[in-house]
Structure 1
Amino acid sequence: MTWRVYAELLDILERASPGRSRRPRRSPRGWTLQELARQLSTGFPRIPRREVARLVRELVMLGALLRRGRRYIRSPRAIFVVGTLKRHRRGFLLVAPEGERARQKYGDIHVRESSAGTALHGDRVLVRVLGRLPAEAPARAHCTWEGRVEKILERAQAIVVGRFMRAPYAGYVLPLDERFLYEIEIAPGEALEAEDGQIVAVELLRPPTAHHPPVGRIVEILGRDGDPGLDEEIVIRKYRLPYRFSESALREAAALPDSVHDRALWRERLARDELKRRDFRGWVTVTIDGESARDFDDAVSVERLPDGSFLLGVHIADVSTYVPEGSALDIEARERGTSVYFPDRVLPMLPERLSEDLCSLKPGVDRVALSVLMKINRRGDVLAYELCPSLIRSQARLTYTFVNELLSGRIEALRPSGRLELSAEASFAHIADALRTMAELGEILIERRHKRGAITFDLPEPVVLFDDEGRIGGIIRAERNLAHRMIEEFMILANETVARHLARGPMPMIYRVHEPPEAERVREFLALVKALGFSIPRQGLRTPRDFQHLVQQFAKRREGRVLSLMMLRSFRPAIYSTENRGHFGLALEHYTHFTSPIRRYPDLVVHRLLRRALARPRASVRPKEREALERIAEQCTERERLADEAEREILAWKRARFMAERVGQEYEGIIVSVKEYGFYVELEEVFIEGLVHISTLTDDRYDFDPRRYALVGRRGRRRFRLGDVVRVRVARVDVDHHLVDFVLVGMPESRRRAS
């Protein structure tokens, strides 16, 4: 908790600092210790006063606070920020500030290696902001400010995963994370009978110092290369992902009744609703998800009205009925923040009894939901809407592939299969008619989205295929079809409608915020697309529509998908916030996440806020509630980023293991990135990327041309540019660090022979 208290106190100082408001909250005389303790008690009601006194003394010693008698004032010259130290894969260090206010003001703060002390990647640190970086500073990683680590508040690397190497006396562990730069000595008698080459989890007993390596003890042996599930176990330990539920949470889940019609459930929870549930069980309602989905939290229905408009129903599982605020289930869900999806395993936010059974909108079963009913005209405008608790019964569990084939006319009957489930009352004619109406409405909403200037990235997702024995059989691109886009538009519209409704009331709210990209990143991206010959608006790239027009140009070029991905990476990541700053990518003024409460905690919180707003629209709001929501929003943003990193890493493991068995094989691919040290090639046959290092281009000496983003030969003037198709051979694979090296087919064996 210490780092959170530091962050909260510094945030209090930042909010009250002169220049941010004409009427700062603090008195010009500063704060007494009692006043600071009272400020902190809003977020930390049980914090001891002696802990506040200790923290204040430390800030005085560091120079962040100045003491004037019994009062403390903020130093005008010393700026401190709490953040997470991150070591970039290219070697430089930066601190990502905690707290939305600090992130907006400073962004990532660059830290020199000599200014980091013994802090390691992932540690929570207190950093002193030294000043702005000079424009020509190397390895800036888009940082504007420079800082120095003053104190390590929390060690992140309590557990390190690595490969055990036996030594004469004990042994040592080589970390699998290249950002952990030290070999770890294993204390005598602490090797846990690990064998040479095994993957182990190590608890650090002593962190590294200036003259001594870290020392640890092995707490778990995860296995050897090739063991089933090893990659997942490595990633779970590395990112400290919760993978077991507490006994109290499991007891709560087991005690829940199987049916929504259970008398105890109605008496204890459902009957307490101040709003009566609407009964939509007679509607043609279906779920449409991926083939491997097991938690169905959204269902849709559509009806064509006599005046030619549409009545769209988006029905979302009412998880808040089963997970009361403050319960053991709620505490577990908040700690996770989101479900984490691996290729063949899920770490759910809620126990499977809820996520795959009681809350899942399975066909033919009555389920409680929160429904968004929207009357939409043929231009895609929402003419009227209704938000209400409901009771629904899905008629079919459909997949994107099935719906796309039906809309294409390749399916003429509705038959249950391994991935298709039907209720007893399901009718092919009714469901097919509803799907065709949904497709018509989906096309209208897609056109509306285009007209308002939203940016659409139809980028394929990697899908890992497994054989009958659980080995990786391939990694392919999952292309998006009309069914994906249709459901996406329905969910976006429901999220926007809920956000607009709640924004009009007095209640605080968690928004999904996507801010415009940073000017420097836009300039860098502009330089790239200009060098490749694309036309740019005279005013540059300012609005979502400007980026949208560029994406349309990309669609006509072979390297278009790569450029779309580079554009996406130049954007700021979307975050959760109680302050509504709009959604740049979707070109929307109001947006939230409401449609996935089984797998995202912010959606569950928004459900609770909506039910409260519907029952008591004029309810007063206490300041503590707003601040509690701010902390939830920040934590959910952090957990989402952690889950994204874990999901990317597990894919990197799978790709490396797949290619390790194919060294020497040849593939055709496209150049997706060009650097000073070589270029990256994405294979056509399998969705995998690897590096062709410049040292392997032996037919000439190549230089990087930054104006054309190409490698150019000095003598032959041969060029390797973004989008070029090349044929490569798999030369080397480093599985532990997920690196795949290619060589161009047809290159001479050495430069001497080429000359």
Structure 2
Amino acid sequence: MASDRKSPPFPTKEAVLDFIEQSPTAVGKREIARAFNLRGNDKIPLKQLLKELKDEGHFGRGAKQRKNNIDGRLPPVQVIELTRIDSDGELIAVPAAWEEDHPAPMIYVLPDRKSKFDLVVGDRILAKLKRLDNKSYQGIPIRKLEAAPLKILGIYQITEEGGFVRPVDKKAKKDFILNPDYAKTAKHGELVLCEIRKGRSRKGLKEVKVVEVLGGIDSPRALSLVAIHERNIPNQFPEEVLEEAAAAKQTTLGTRTDLRDLALVTIDGADARDFDDAVWAEPDPDNEGGWHIIVAIADVAHYVRSGSPLDDEAQTRGNSTYFADRVVPMLPEALSNGWCSLKPNEDRPSMAVHMWIDADGELRKHKFVRALIRSQARLTYEEVQEALNGYPSDKTADLLDPVLKPLKGAYDTMLKARHKRGTLELEIPEFQVVMDESGEVTDIVKRQRLDSHKLIEEFMIMANVAAAIELESKQLPCMYRVHEAPDPVKIEGLADSLHGMGIKFAKGQVIRPKVLTQVLERASDLPEAKLINELILRAQSQARYDATNLGHFGLALTRYAHFTSPIRRYSDLMVHRALIKGLKLGDDGLTSAETTKFNDIAEHISATERRSAAAERDTINRFTASFFSKKIGTIYPGKINGVHRAGLFITLDETGADGLVPMSYLPDDYYIHDEKNHSLTGRRWGREYHLGDSVMVRIFESNPITGGIALRIVEGDGDEETSSFKAKTNKKNDRKRNKIGTRSKRSPGKNRRR
């Protein structure tokens, strides 16, 4: 008769480590097995568990050596993970298995000259540790270990068959098995970050263990957390970085230029969290029709010194990342929203540039100074626009004549130079996610594009140009913002797409920004105008940072740098330091070590910018899907923005949301995909779908976790399954028989309809 006694649960890593820590004597596998009442086959997974603990550096050979963690110290030998390179070129690491509730100590890795392996960020190594102080160690590599386990982000689901993790990545094809012993405190429906267990699989599925529990996915605010973890965006500042930021103080005038009497103002969005630029303008008495302009930028270089923990962290992040419900800043709040934010009626240090333009809007001369300013007002774009339209508020009435009208006059003059050089004038609508206090998405609206927005943009562009000119003239390193001309292959594809919409565009011509702007002007009154803007945008090269000047195609500028946002972009901080050094404005300018690493830094911050853009885009898609998940079955107008063998990509007119009509959701037929002309044609019934066509679609499925929206085409009386559709006559069908075709999955037999 079988025993009714249940086997004891297999211990977790935490339970084993707690037992070892509390044991008054050294323990090994035998003592651990006895303590947890493990017998027979249970000793095999115990051996594997102990091996994993050893590899993670918790104890020495055979589990006989107890973990050395006296007074919070790390053991003399530890597995560490390389996380970044500081400004002096040193590799920085942290313990690989750090799970404490306080920041991990910093480990400076100093490989000896005999080391036979190269180390890069992301490597895991076994290292000897020497304590330097309470918060840092020196690490000497012993050997390089295998790569860290792959991590996945997913939703923990408890079913009758056990625990599973469903990945949030829509490209993932399978779930993962999660044994409750490796689930930590995760509950059903919560978002979890997991490691894939090496070599462990069951039922054809890989097993995972929870590394971090991120909370309930039902909360809309969890959607930005998905992107943060999925894209590996650092969102916790080390303690020493926070301490350094908190120690920042007010700045005195000293040798700075005193600009506190000038009526400088900040103009930002109503939801802006930091104010890093202020502007001022007046007519130039020495140049009829010209203007004297000042753009003052927060002096971040004064607070963030090269080689400091603050600087190392800012460089690692590369830039701030903005979501609808939060910001992951490049700098701690004590600086980004404090001393480096140009708050009204408070003294703030700044890097300011005086610029003098002529009556044609051309920059005649400029001068950079380190200054102390006092912003006279914090204004929003809407407030400024209302005032300039003749409806000033109590706040802007006194500023209209002395401050706002001169700014508008200078802007109008600057536009002459912009139009003359032929800037690429794309009009891409930007949509804003509107949320209530609980984080629920209540609407998705198109952001207004006001003259006040363009005014600030033009002031910033001119300041950026002045910075690039200044650094070139001093033959100093410059972190250029480059945008190369479009790839000829993309331009050829663009020409084909435009031809399909009846717009002439000669292939082989020399492409300048003005040529593309002329296309946009010719198409401005067409229903496809929005799509044509997007097609031209897709044909562009990606802007990036480079130590070599390659010009800026989109702005039609021969030299361009980023100077105006050092709070949120590391590139701008590098430009500030270069100016400080070149103009001898202080001892906190560019260092020799930074100069030698300009190319590496440019490549790194270009990558972090792409990472942030992807995370922001992913999150917008998830918030949008969350909004539409409550509108299943609703019909919306949209336009076809992509034609593929997989189906039709649709952009909804009202919200800019993108969705897919899978081939299986198209009305019954066998569809011919014409790649060159961007169309799908039904072989039997003659339905045609072309790039740019207006369509009505029904929301069929919307998944906030993946950000995917599935749509169905609506025909006739609103029934997407209707058979009363009058097919278009398609005279080209016979000639297209030899093209690749795809049958709608509902289409039965040999194109018979039921």
TM-score by length of 1: 0.74
Alignment of 1:80-159 (within 5 A): 158-159=150-151
**Aligned position for 2:114:** 50
**Aligned position for 1:414:** 394
**Aligned position for 1:292:** 271
C-alpha spacing 1:164/1:440, structure 2 compared with 1 (3 Å): same
What is the CA–CA distance in structure 2 between the aligned matches of 1:352 and 1:533, rounded to whole Å? 52
Q: Could you tell me whether the CA contact under 8 Å between 2:357 and 2:365 is conserved in 1?
A: yes
**Aligned position for 1:520:** 489
Indicate whether 1:184 and 2:208 are aligned. Answer: no
Q: Could you tell me whether the CA contact under 8 Å between 1:511 and 1:592 is conserved in 2?
A: yes
SS of equivalent to 2:712: strand
More off after superposition, 673-682 vs 322-331: 673-682
Alignment of 1:346-495 (within 5 A): 346-409=327-390, 411-415=391-395, 428-495=397-464
Q: Could you tell me whether the CA contact under 8 Å between 1:727 and 1:745 is conserved in 2?
A: yes
**Aligned position for 2:326:** 345
What is the CA–CA distance in structure 2 between the aligned matches of 1:278 and 1:4, rounded to whole Å? 37
**Aligned position for 1:708:** 677
Q: Could you tell me whether the CA contact under 8 Å between 1:284 and 1:431 is conserved in 2?
A: no
Q: Which string of whole-angstrom CA distances, capped at 9 and with x for unpartnered residues, describes residues 703-734 of structure 1?
A: 23334322233345443223322222111223
Deviation of the 1:361 alpha carbon: 0.7
What is the CA–CA distance in structure 2 between the aligned matches of 1:735 and 1:403, rounded to whole Å? 37
**Aligned position for 2:743:** none
Q: Could you tell me whether the CA contact under 8 Å between 1:223 and 1:230 is conserved in 2?
A: yes
**Aligned position for 1:238:** 230
Indicate whether 1:615 and 2:595 are aligned. Answer: no
Deviation of the 1:652 alpha carbon: 1.1
C-alpha spacing 1:676/1:375, structure 2 compared with 1 (3 Å): same
SS of equivalent to 2:406: helix
Compute the RMSD of aligned alpha carbons.
3.3
SS of equivalent to 1:615: coil
Q: Could you tell me whether the CA contact under 8 Å between 1:370 and 1:388 is conserved in 2?
A: yes
Deviation of the 1:179 alpha carbon: 3.9
Indicate whether 1:310 and 2:291 are aligned. Answer: yes
Task: Give the aligned residue type for 2:325.
Answer: D
Q: Could you tell me whether the CA contact under 8 Å between 1:459 and 1:479 is conserved in 2?
A: no
What is the CA–CA distance in structure 2 between the aligned matches of 1:583 and 1:393, rounded to whole Å? 33
Q: 2:527 aligns with which of 553, 558, 564?
A: 558
Deviation of the 1:501 alpha carbon: 0.8
**Aligned position for 1:253:** 245
What is the CA–CA distance in structure 2 between the aligned matches of 1:454 and 1:171, rounded to whole Å? 56
C-alpha spacing 1:429/1:3, structure 2 compared with 1 (3 Å): closer
Task: Give the aligned residue type for 2:637.
Answer: E
**Aligned position for 1:635:** 604
What is the CA–CA distance in structure 2 between the aligned matches of 1:600 and 1:621, rounded to whole Å? 16
Q: Could you tell me whether the CA contact under 8 Å between 2:268 and 2:379 is conserved in 1?
A: yes
Q: Could you tell me whether the CA contact under 8 Å between 1:702 and 1:711 is conserved in 2?
A: yes
What is the CA–CA distance in structure 1 between the aligned matches of 2:146 and 2:529, rounded to whole Å? 43
Deviation of the 1:189 alpha carbon: 1.7
Q: Which string of whole-angstrom CA distances, capped at 9 and with x for unpartnered residues, describes residues 130-178 of structure 1?
A: xxxxxxxxxxxxxxxxxxxxxx999587432112233678633222113
Task: Give the aligned residue type for 2:524.
Answer: A
C-alpha spacing 1:157/1:548, structure 2 compared with 1 (3 Å): farther
Q: How many residues align?
A: 602
More off after superposition, 479-488 vs 624-633: 624-633
**Aligned position for 2:138:** none
What is the CA–CA distance in structure 2 between the aligned matches of 1:495 and 1:595, rounded to whole Å? 7
SS of equivalent to 1:388: strand
Q: Could you tell me whether the CA contact under 8 Å between 1:317 and 1:369 is conserved in 2?
A: yes
Deviation of the 1:211 alpha carbon: 12
SS of equivalent to 1:379: coil
Q: Could you tell me whether the CA contact under 8 Å between 1:666 and 1:728 is conserved in 2?
A: yes
C-alpha spacing 1:731/1:157, structure 2 compared with 1 (3 Å): farther
SS of equivalent to 2:271: coil
Q: Could you tell me whether the CA contact under 8 Å between 1:169 and 1:188 is conserved in 2?
A: no
**Aligned position for 1:748:** 721
Q: Could you tell me whether the CA contact under 8 Å between 1:299 and 1:394 is conserved in 2?
A: yes
Deviation of the 1:285 alpha carbon: 1.0
C-alpha spacing 1:350/1:250, structure 2 compared with 1 (3 Å): same
Q: Which string of whole-angstrom CA distances, capped at 9 and with x for unpartnered residues, describes residues 491-516 of structure 1?
A: 11100111011012232221111112
What is the CA–CA distance in structure 2 between the aligned matches of 1:574 and 1:251, rounded to whole Å? 35
Q: Could you tell me whether the CA contact under 8 Å between 1:677 and 1:693 is conserved in 2?
A: yes
What is the CA–CA distance in structure 1 between the aligned matches of 2:602 and 2:714, rounded to whole Å? 50
Q: 1:694 aligns with which of 639, 642, 663?
A: 663
What is the CA–CA distance in structure 2 between the aligned matches of 1:597 and 1:299, rounded to whole Å? 13
What is the CA–CA distance in structure 1 between the aligned matches of 2:343 and 2:486, rounded to whole Å? 40
Indicate whether 1:281 and 2:299 are aligned. Answer: no
Q: Could you tell me whether the CA contact under 8 Å between 2:392 and 2:400 is conserved in 1?
A: no
Deviation of the 1:697 alpha carbon: 2.9
Q: 2:697 aligns with which of 728, 744, 755?
A: 728
Indicate whether 1:542 and 2:477 are aligned. Answer: no
SS of equivalent to 1:249: helix
What is the CA–CA distance in structure 2 between the aligned matches of 1:522 and 1:285, rounded to whole Å? 44
Q: Could you tell me whether the CA contact under 8 Å between 1:172 and 1:186 is conserved in 2?
A: yes
C-alpha spacing 1:393/1:153, structure 2 compared with 1 (3 Å): farther
Q: Which string of whole-angstrom CA distances, capped at 9 and with x for unpartnered residues, describes residues 650-692 of structure 1?
A: 1111011111111011112222222233222222233312122
Q: Which runs of 5+ in 1 are unaligned?
A: 6-43, 57-81, 83-97, 99-122, 125-151, 416-426
Q: Could you tell me whether the CA contact under 8 Å between 2:699 and 2:712 is conserved in 1?
A: yes
Q: Could you tell me whether the CA contact under 8 Å between 1:3 and 1:154 is conserved in 2?
A: no
Identity %: 35
What is the CA–CA distance in structure 2 between the aligned matches of 1:395 and 1:207, rounded to whole Å? 64
C-alpha spacing 1:156/1:460, structure 2 compared with 1 (3 Å): farther
What is the CA–CA distance in structure 2 between the aligned matches of 1:153 and 1:642, rounded to whole Å? 27
Q: Could you tell me whether the CA contact under 8 Å between 2:642 and 2:649 is conserved in 1?
A: yes
SS of equivalent to 2:623: helix
SS of equivalent to 2:152: strand
Q: Which string of whole-angstrom CA distances, capped at 9 and with x for unpartnered residues, describes residues 619-671 of structure 1?
A: 99997543322221111111111111110111111011111111011112222
Deviation of the 1:391 alpha carbon: 1.3
What is the CA–CA distance in structure 2 between the aligned matches of 1:316 and 1:563, rounded to whole Å? 36
**Aligned position for 1:567:** 536
**Aligned position for 1:147:** none
What is the CA–CA distance in structure 2 between the aligned matches of 1:330 and 1:207, rounded to whole Å? 40
Indicate whether 1:224 and 2:216 are aligned. Answer: yes
Q: 1:164 aligns with which of 147, 156, 161?
A: 156
TM-score by length of 2: 0.74
C-alpha spacing 1:342/1:187, structure 2 compared with 1 (3 Å): same
SS of equivalent to 1:49: coil
What is the CA–CA distance in structure 1 between the aligned matches of 2:337 and 2:281, rounded to whole Å? 25
Task: Give the aligned residue type for 2:309.
Answer: A
Q: Which string of whole-angstrom CA distances, capped at 9 and with x for unpartnered residues, describes residues 457-497 of structure 1?
A: 22121201113433110111113111111111111110011
Q: Could you tell me whether the CA contact under 8 Å between 1:541 and 1:547 is conserved in 2?
A: no
Q: Could you tell me whether the CA contact under 8 Å between 1:162 and 1:173 is conserved in 2?
A: yes
What is the CA–CA distance in structure 2 between the aligned matches of 1:434 and 1:674, rounded to whole Å? 50
Q: Which runs of 5+ in 2 are unaligned?
A: 1-80, 86-107, 124-143, 723-745
**Aligned position for 1:10:** none
What is the CA–CA distance in structure 2 between the aligned matches of 1:616 and 1:684, rounded to whole Å? 51
